[in-house]
Amino acid sequence: MSRMDAQFEGWGRLLARRTGRRSFLARVGALLAGSAALPLLPVARASADSSRVPAPSESIPGPEGDPTRCEYWRHCAIDGFLCACCGGSATTCPPGTEMAPVTWIGTCRNPADGRDYIISYNDCCGKGFCGRCGCNRNEGDRPEYHWVRSNDINWCAGAKSQAYHCSVAIVVGQATEAQPER
């Protein structure tokens, strides 16, 4: 009997060591809920207007081209957790969170073509801190007295819940020049 116990314990420990239940559950859950909820998210509407939105090259080598890195070019003024590391993506909220209707809007330069793009940093709200991929790049960020361009305030204002979870960075257009405050 104890040999059987030991055997099962061994398998259990092996499984726990190799897989990680949390990440597996999180991935399966995110996949199930995410694929069902994707068309309902407000970002579907944002991306539907393709006339104004250019298609910046995504084939940038290195961290500047990786949406799960702080160095990703669209994250030039981000302050918070990257939704791409929290079950969402650089443009979509994780399942169970709501995209805040008011946002911080600024510009970032895309190193692939050297042009500036208008970026909307929407917060995803309704769950506690995601805690993964915390970034604090503040290019173009202004002090709180200039709140329209301040990333230190909680942009979950206007959402049903003010609990901040993570941030996305959506390209909403091409900019003629970098934002005037930079």
Partner 1 sequence: MRRAAAWIVALSCGLAAGASAKVPPEESYQLHCSGCHGPDGAGRADFVPSLRGLAVLLESPGGRAYLARVPGVAQAPLESAALAELLNWVLRELSDGREFAPYAAHELEAWRRDPLRDPAAARSALGRGP
Asked whether position 54 contacts partner 1 by CB under 8 A, the answer is: no
Among positions 20, 32, 158, 161, the unique one binding partner 1 when judged by CB under 8 A? 158
Among positions 101, 113, 131, 154, the unique one binding partner 1 when judged by CB under 8 A? 101
- Measured distance CA(49)–CA(180) in Å, rounded: 25
Asked whether position 175 contacts partner 1 by CB under 8 A, the answer is: yes
Is the Cβ of residue 27 or residue 146 nearer to partner 1 in the bound state? 146
Using CB under 8 A as the binding rule, the residues of this chain from 129 to 148 that contact partner 1 are 146, 148
Q: Closest approach of Cβ 101 to partner 1, in Å?
A: 5
Q: What is the DSSP letter of 4?
A: H
The SS3 of residue 35 is: helix
Using CB under 8 A as the binding rule, the residues of this chain from 21 to 50 that contact partner 1 are 46, 49
Is the Cβ of residue 33 or residue 175 nearer to partner 1 in the bound state? 175
Asked whether position 167 contacts partner 1 by CB under 8 A, the answer is: no
Among positions 72, 73, 104, 164, the unique one binding partner 1 when judged by CB under 8 A? 104
Among positions 97, 106, 133, 168, the unique one binding partner 1 when judged by CB under 8 A? 106
Q: Could you tell me if 168 and 99 are in contact, meaning their C-beta atoms sit under 8 angstroms apart?
A: yes
Q: What are phi and psi of 104, to 5 degrees?
A: -90, 125
Asked whether position 53 contacts partner 1 by CB under 8 A, the answer is: no
Q: Could you tell me if 43 and 93 are in contact, meaning their C-beta atoms sit under 8 angstroms apart?
A: yes
Torsion angle, CA of 40/37/97/141, rounded to 10 degrees? -60
Q: Closest approach of Cβ 105 to partner 1, in Å?
A: 4
Q: Could you tell me if 82 and 129 are in contact, meaning their C-beta atoms sit under 8 angstroms apart?
A: no
Neighbours of 73 (CB within 10 A): 22
107 forms beta bridges with 118
List the catalytic residues. 104, 123
Q: Could you tell me if 130 and 166 are in contact, meaning their C-beta atoms sit under 8 angstroms apart?
A: yes
Which residues here bind partner 1, judged by CB under 8 A? 46, 49, 101-107, 118, 120, 146, 148-149, 157-158, 172-173, 175-177, 179-181
